[in-house]
Structure formats: C-alpha cells, structure tokens
Homo-oligomer: A and B are copies of this chain.
Amino acid sequence: MTQGQEQVEKLRELAAMIRYYILAATTRAGSGHPSSSLSATDLMTGLFFGGGFRYDPDRPDYPNNDRLIFSKGHASPLFYALWLAAGRLSEEEMFTYRQFGSPLEGHPTASFPYAEAATGSLGQGLSIGLGMALNARYLDKLPCCTYVLLGDSEMAEGSQWEAIQLAARYKLDNLIGIIDVNRLGQRGETMYGHDLQAYKLRLEAFGWRTIVIDGHSYPEILTAYEQARQAAGRPVMIIARTLKGKGVAVMENRDGWHGKTLSPDDYQQALQQLGRVDCSVRGEIKTPERIEPEPGSAAEIAPLDYPADQPVATRKAFGNALKRLGPGFPGLVSLDAEVSNSTAAEVFKKAFPERFFEMYVAEQNMVGAAQGLALRGKLPFVSTFAAFLTRAYDQIRMGQYSEANLKLVGSHAGVSIGEDGPSQMGLEDLAMFRAIGDSVVLYPADATAMERLVEAAARHRGLVYLRATRAATPILYGPQEHFPIGGSKVLRSSDRDMLTVATAGITLFEALAAHEELKQEGINLRVLDMYSIKPLDREILLKAAGETRAIITVEDHYAEGGLGEAVQSALATVAVPVYKLAVGKKPKSGKPDELLDYEETSRGAIAHRARAIAGS
C-alpha cells in the first residue's frame, strides 16, 4: 500500500467506528439524527484526521487553532463521535448523549467544550464562521482556517446568502464551507435535490470558489481540503454529493428517516452492514503552527466631557462612548448594518477604521458574525435601528446558548422618532431582549448615562442590549455619576411624595416636566430613572411602594413585555397599584411631541393620570 492508500484505509476504519457510535448513541437515546450524521461522516472524518484540520485539543482556546462549526447542528452525534475518535471523549460519555445534565445535548451548545458555537437553528453557522474568519484575517492576523459544515436544506435560509456575500466582500479565503448535499430535507427532497450545479452556479455568482466532489470518496475529499487551503482571495465552498443515512441500507438515500432512530432489529442489521468495527482506534488531529496574535495593550480611557447645557442624542453618545473606550478595550470592535451615520457608530469607525466592520443591510449575518468575533475573544458592539434588530432575533436567541459576549445597540427607539413612521420605530425591542435568558437591558436617558452604560456593558460578560433615542435630550447627570447595571436614579423625591413615576429614556423628560406641572397643584411626584430595565432595581421600587400611594410606569414601547410589565412583575406580590402608560394605539408619522401625546406617554398624559389617581 502507498502512504496515501494507508491513510485512506485508516480514515475508513475511523469512519466505521464513528458510524457505529452515531448509531449506538442515537439508538440508546431513542432520538436524534443518525441519517443526517451518516451523510457527513466521511467529509468530517477526512477533515479531522486527514491532516487538513489543525487544532490543539489540549488548548481549545489556542488562537491559531482552526475552527469547525457544525451549522447543521442536528448532526451532533457525528460531532461528538469525532471527538471520541480523537480520544477526547469516552464511550461512557458518548452514551450520555441527550441525557439530562450531559454536555452532549441534542444540538451542540456551549456545554460541550469543543463546540465553537451553539447551533441547531439552521442557517447560522456560516455567519458565525465568517465572524471567526474576519477575526483571524483582520484582527488576530493568523493563518488558521474556519470550516463550516452546512446542510443542503439550510441553504434556503437567506442568512446564508448574507454570509456568502459578505465573505466574498471581505475576501475571506480562510473561510471554507462544506455543503453536505444529501438531497433529503426533513420532509422530502430539498429544493435542488442532488443538483450540485445549482449550488455551484449560485456560489460562484456570489464570488466564491467551489469544489464539487463525491462526499464519500476519500481521495476526492482529501484533495478538496488541500485545494481549499490554497488561499486565492476568495472563500471556498466544497459542494459534496452525499447520501443521507450512508452505510445503513434501511435509511440510505431514503425519505422518511430525518430525525429518526433505528428499531432494535434495524440496529442489529445496521451493525452487520458496518462490518468489523474496532472501537479502540483513535485518530490524530494535527496541531497548528505556534503563532500568537500580537497582544493588544489597553490604554487609558479619557474622561467624559459633555457641557451641561447642550442636549445630545443618546445614539450620538453611544458613538462617542465607543471611541472613548476604544483605547481601553483593545478587543472592542464595531459592526453596523449600513446605518453608522444614524447609530453614530461612524464616530468609532473614523477613529479605529481597522476595528470597524461594515456589514451592509443584512442584520442576521451581522449578529451571527458578531457572535463569531465574541467567541474568539473580541468585544463586538452591534448597532442598527432597534426596529431592525427584530430581523436577527433568532441569532440573538441562539447567542445565549453559545454564551457569546455580545453587545447590541438599537437606535431610533419608540414613537418619538417622529415623521419616519412605524416601520422605523423600535417598539418591541425591550420585550424581545428581556425574554433572552440572562440578558441585560439598558435604556439610558442622557449622554452621560449612555457613556457610562456602554462602559458597563463592555465590562459585563454576556448579552447586553442598549436602547438609544433619536432625538437630542438634555444632560441630566454630571460626568462623575455612576451607573451600575441593576441600578436606578432617584431624580425627584421629597418626604411628601404622593405618587411615583418609574420611567426611562425619552419619557423620563416627560416625567420631569409633569413633576414641575403637578408641583404647582400640590401633587408631589417622585421620579425614578429606571435605566436598568433588566436587572431591575426592585429595592428602589419597594421603597417607592412603601412611601407613595401608587406607581405609574411610562415607556415609549408597546405595553407588553417592556418596562411597565417589568415593574408590575417586580411588585406583583406587593400591595401597591402600578399603572402603566405605554404605546397602545397604532403608531403613525407625526412630530415627536404629537406622537407622545397621542400615545398618552407625554408630560400631559402623565399629569392627567396622576391627577386622576390623586383625586380617587
């Protein structure tokens, strides 16, 4: 045997064992996706153990490791079996697959140490890989590659084409995708079946190199990886013809076997078809070159400097804050969806052009790529209009399961943006971000608060959302004021307060005006700036509940899931009435003040409600 033949023989041996563990683990679990794992087994065995993939299993965080993302996360049995074959997982651990408490979850999550990202919602892995490739190429400047295993069904997701266009735009020849074209989706044939040319044509039109192969031929697989690593200024897609369920007659290339495990009889027959399996065989992953990125060094952060008498929009303060923090956080990067002049991310871009990524009008990929950057240790701030972050809710949702250190900024929140009308108004963003596990949701009212909260977000590990206002608002706070996450500010208070207004952002100024108006009438309003929507400062609310007759919440957001419900929930076991003022009528175009009046979140509406409660 030649050396090449020997290598192929060894790979086949490993693949047989991997197929065995795919079947054994899913059959034991009674659920999972064996057929989708089997189609990609040869592709992944060839990648892992064929010499192309460079990774130090002792140091998963080593910067110059190649990265592999299973975008088709349902092929997790294959993913886990690969790590078993690499000697990093015992058979016993393998058989905990899908059990409560096992790191081997149904779809990969951060609980499995070798999972680069949580996947399982289709069409997200390529964006994450793109973020990692951006990091390697433009930030860490390392030669490592990022591989993404893709399913053919998920190529229908638009997010894929967002990632595909951006990868070409950024000339990421260190990004290598592998489409496992097994022809069959969950409920029948995919859009293009085994028409590999359909994928080739589309990808090449989008500027990718393509390599079309038989995904079960090791010579073709190994050659493809070799060619793919020969960088040529373009990302590469290996388009592999495979058979779903490959190697198990009852399911091979047959419809009706998605997410279905074998019966005991079928399992026995399948084992016979696998032939001799040596469960002791282990493969070796080549380790990468020892190259480290240049360490960034943190410089001092400049102090704040907002003249007290000049209104500034919090979105502008966001841009200023990024720039101010730039030297202190060398890992801080900014991604924006072609609106950096509106979100003010351009302030950072101008100061640190090499740390700014224009992601164009493609929010899903932007958030996915930011995840990739975060998972490689960077500190990405993603910005666009709050309304358009709804576009990326699935990516945001999945980010929590990757435990990605993501920061998102939504500008142009609320009806107070005015004339542009409802399509541009972020009115559900608080609800959307509150319903993410462990999220932090911040809504500063003035430039100082925004600056301090951007800094708090940068120091906090985990998903943080910052809500920004379009209009310029007065400076409320001096440059020394602190804004801890979970805190609040008491802006108006006396020992004769009758009612409390708990609000944040643009409507805080309405509350302050209502306070002035009502003072003349002998009604004292306590005014709270609840800038930390989640976690919420329950203590200050309890104090207000004890000292005033009622609490009125005010927010430029729909009535559901926002600040009002957060406060009502925090006080749900306390006997104080909590009245909610929020957006309730169909929003429309108009002047900001007209719209706040119309939605009954203005100073007038607050005063009106306060008088009604005071008089009752």
Q: Which residues of A contact B (CB under 8 A)?
A: 29, 31-32, 73, 98-102, 105-107, 109, 111, 118-123, 153-154, 156-162, 165, 169, 185-187, 190-191, 201-202, 204-206, 338-342, 346, 360-362, 364-365, 387-388, 390-391, 393-394, 397-398, 400-401, 418-424, 427-428, 431-432, 434-438, 534, 550, 558-562, 564-566, 568-569, 571-575, 577-580, 583-584, 586-591, 594-595, 598
Contact = CB atoms under 8 A, between A and B. Distances in A.
A550 B391 CA distance: 39
A575 B572 contact: no
A496 to B, nearest CB: 23
A401 B423 contact: yes
A107 B420 contact: yes
A598 B421 contact: no
Given A106-B420, A393-B428, A561-B565, 15 more contacts: A31-B418, A118-B423, A120-B421, A158-B159, A187-B339, A187-B341, A390-B394, A427-B435, A432-B435, A435-B560, A435-B562, A437-B587, A560-B566, A565-B566, A569-B580
Contacts of A580: 569, 572
A572 B561 contact: no
The 4 closest A-B pairs by CB, nearest first: A158-B158, A120-B423, A100-B590, A561-B561
Count chain B CB atoms within 10 A of each CB in A190, A201, A428, A568 and give the residue with the most: A428
B338 A156 contact: yes
A169 B187 contact: no
B361 A588 contact: no
B191 A98 contact: no
A579 B588 contact: no
A73 B423 CA distance: 9
Contacts of A390: 393-394, 397
Contacts of A574: 577
A361 B122 contact: yes
Query: Which of A169, A534, A565 gathers most chain B CB within 10 Å?
Result: A565
A41 to B, nearest CB: 21
26 contacts: A99-B590, A100-B590, A105-B588, A105-B589, A107-B424, A109-B422, A118-B422, A120-B424, A153-B361, A158-B158, A158-B159, A158-B160, A158-B161, A158-B362, A202-B202, A204-B205, A387-B394, A432-B435, A437-B583, A437-B586, A550-B573, A560-B569, A561-B561, A568-B569, A569-B569, A572-B580
A549 to B, nearest CB: 12
A418 B121 CA distance: 16
- How many subunits of this chain does the assembly comprise? 2
Given A156-B362, A339-B187, A341-B187, A561 B419 contact: no
A565 B573 contact: no
A401 to B, nearest CB: 5
B428 A436 contact: yes
Contacts of A154: 361
Contacts of A123: 361
A421 B561 CA distance: 25
A573 B569 contact: no
B191 A360 contact: yes
A321 to B, nearest CB: 19
B419 A98 contact: yes
B569 A341 contact: no
A142 to B, nearest CB: 26
Contact of A420 (B31, B393, B428): B31
B573 A579 contact: yes
Contacts of A118: 422-423
A38 B577 CA distance: 54
Nearest to A403: B586
Contact of A191 (B29, B169, B401, B577): B169
Contacts of A584: 437
B573 A119 contact: no
Contacts of A594: 100
B565 A437 contact: no
A469 to B, nearest CB: 17
Contacts of A122: 361
Nearest to A205: B205
Contacts of A590: 98-101
A157 B153 contact: no
A119 B423 contact: yes
A121 B388 contact: yes
Contacts of A388: 121, 394
A162 B169 contact: no
Contacts of A566: 560, 565
B153 A162 contact: no
